[in-house]
Chains A and B, each alone.
Chain A
Amino acid sequence: EAGVAQSPRYKIIEKRQSVAFWCNPISGHATLYWYQQILGQGPKLLIQFQNNGVVDDSQLPKDRFSAERLKGVDSTLKIQPAKLEDSAVYLCASSSTGLLYEQYFGPGTRLTVT
């Protein structure tokens, strides 16, 4: 079974630029999550999708971050404009509802904002 795919793996941008990350979850997984992991901290949930609907985006800084999962499969997370404090690893995870709430994580995208 293929795992959660993310791209790009690394991205370096200057502050005030825009950036987008892509995630393809495990086939058949209805729930998709985006996490932000700042160096030295645990992952923090940004947004959770159930199919193509948003379940929880309370931690998403909506003035600069946006995410979509239009067809209920893959998802993109965008930052516009980026700030220095957005430097982090952005992790995507997916889960199959009913399987003891297990989440499977992708390798992440490491973003550096200079």
Chain B
Amino acid sequence: GEDVEQSLFLSVREGDSSVINCTYTDSSSTYLYWYKQEPGAGLQLLTYIFSNMDMKQDQRLTVLLNKKDKHLSLRIADTQTGDSAIYFCAEYAGANNLFFGTGTRLTVIP
């Protein structure tokens, strides 16, 4: 079955870059996603990447995918206090369904 792992916590200083990592097990995943969850709110889709891509950039966000190692990362450039949230990695598990990791809590220190 699918297993998506993330480190639980990350702290960075405002203005620095943040890198959130994720490993997954299902090599047949076609899409991989990053979601953001702010306190008391639902999940917000940040970005996604096709499995046949190595990198995707969207403004301050850069997603890197290493299919060989089944490793996905999200880099946030110039991290701001408003980026403090929990970030979930998710893989497409077929049948229009997503399988989520446990989330990484990003804390941005002013």
Residues of A within 8 A of B (CB): 4, 31, 33, 40-45, 48, 50, 55-56, 91, 93, 95, 97, 100-108
Contacts and interface: CB of A to CB of B under 8 A. Distances in A.
B43 A56 contact: no
A50 B95 CA distance: 11
A107 B4 CA distance: 23
Interface residues of B, number: 21
Contacts of B48: 100, 102
B43 A105 contact: yes
Nearest to B42: A105
Contacts of A40: 102-103
B96 interface: yes
A42 B44 contact: no
A86 B31 CA distance: 30
A91 B43 contact: yes
Interface string B85-97: 0001010100111
Interface in B68-110: 88, 90, 92, 95-98, 100-103
Given A42-B88, A42-B103, A108 B95 contact: no
A55 B92 CA distance: 16
Given A48-B96, A55-B95, A95-B96, A104 B45 contact: yes
6 interchain residue pairs of minimum CB distance: A42-B100, A105-B42, A105-B43, A107-B42, A42-B102, A43-B100
Contacts of B100: 42-44
Interface string B17-43: 000000000000001000100001111
Given A42-B88, A100-B48, A48 B97 contact: yes
Given A106-B42, A108-B41, 20 more contacts: A40-B103, A41-B102, A42-B88, A42-B100, A42-B103, A43-B100, A48-B97, A50-B96, A55-B96, A56-B97, A91-B42, A93-B42, A100-B48, A101-B31, A101-B98, A102-B45, A102-B48, A103-B98, A105-B44, A107-B42
